[in-house]
Amino acid sequence: MRCVILGGGGFLGRHVGKVMATAGYELWCVDMCPPHGPESTPWFKGHVQADYWDVDHWWAECGEPECVVHLASSTVPATASTDPVSDVNQNLIGLLKLLEGLGRQPSAPRLLYASSGGAVYGIPQSVPIDEDHPLIPIGAYGITKVACEHHIRLAETQYGLQTRILRISNPYGEWQRPNGVQGVISVFAHRALMGLPVDVWGDGSVVRDFVYAGDVAQAFVTAAHHQGSARVFNLGGGGGHSVNHIIKTLEQLLGRHVERKTHAARSFDPPINVLDIRRAQEELSWTPRVAFEQGVAKTLEWLRVAVK
């Protein structure tokens, strides 16, 4: 099966590309950024430098793919809140153009969309959160994701696209930039490696759901040929880890103390957010296989080599 990864040069895009190539897919990368040299993402048959929504630009060049994985995003929760208009322009209007462009092709591909299990549900009414939990996002990023999900649902009848939405909790692993405003594991691991203190809001008891990005990638492989009636799947680590536990894990792996810089708790941080992943386990025959300590060790190893 021929598959295009929109945003294939990014953190998740690399994981999904690598795993899908191993599973036998012919893979193409569409990304605004140029490829970083032939070695960095050898699993792609080719790269097209284009806006993800500019289907006419990449469709033929990527060989009229049967599957499109949409991972392209230039915003994160913090930037979306600061500039919600840009977030809507890039992610919602971009998606509308993408759907219209895909619908115009003679053979409608299947679209796999990376949504956010951490952003679309808002403050959990019960934990673990299943896919039927109300969608009451508490930030601009999540509001846009919800709107995108609704439009993707309608695109099945409007454009004849097959779609699957994957609500990913907090993915982490190799290739996640450690100097961003997202990805607490990479950020903490990098600072710990550098001997710098890590920032903790409140007492560190806040629990989040982390899932190794290589595991997430495996779910895209099965979602590409899933035949059931479900359209939305949570992808999480199967349990939660507190901020304190992240730090303790790093201390154990590094064999030394990690200093904390403590700040006042943030009112908008729900105390716990853990996804119910039973639907993905049952319908996609998927389960996260990389244990938390093992995933954090992989992240540390990559940071040691790749990042100064």
What does the binding site for its own copies look like in residue numbers (CB under 8 A)? 81, 84-85, 88-89, 92-93, 96-97, 134-140, 143-144, 146-147, 150-151, 154, 158
Minimal distance in Å, beta carbon 51 to its own copies? 14
Minimal distance in Å, beta carbon 56 to its own copies? 16
Question: What SS3 state is found at 31?
Answer: strand
| Cβ partners under 8 Å of residue 167, min gap 6 | 115, 116, 117, 120, 131, 232, 233, 234, 235, 275
Of 21, 1, 155, 156, the closest CA to residue 63 belongs to: 1
Nearer to its own copies, 85 or 264 (CB): 85
Are the C-beta atoms of residues 144 and 267 closer than 8 Å to each other? no
Nearer to its own copies, 1 or 147 (CB): 147
Nearer to its own copies, 150 or 256 (CB): 150
Nearer to its own copies, 56 or 251 (CB): 56
The separation between the first and the last C-alpha atoms of the chain, rounded to the nearest angstrom, is: 38
Minimal distance in Å, beta carbon 280 to its own copies? 21
- Distance, in Å, from the CA atom of 110 to the CA atom of 102, rounded to the nearest integer, reads 9
Are the C-beta atoms of residues 225 and 147 closer than 8 Å to each other? no
Minimal distance in Å, beta carbon 275 to its own copies? 18
Minimal distance in Å, beta carbon 208 to its own copies? 21
Nearer to its own copies, 147 or 193 (CB): 147
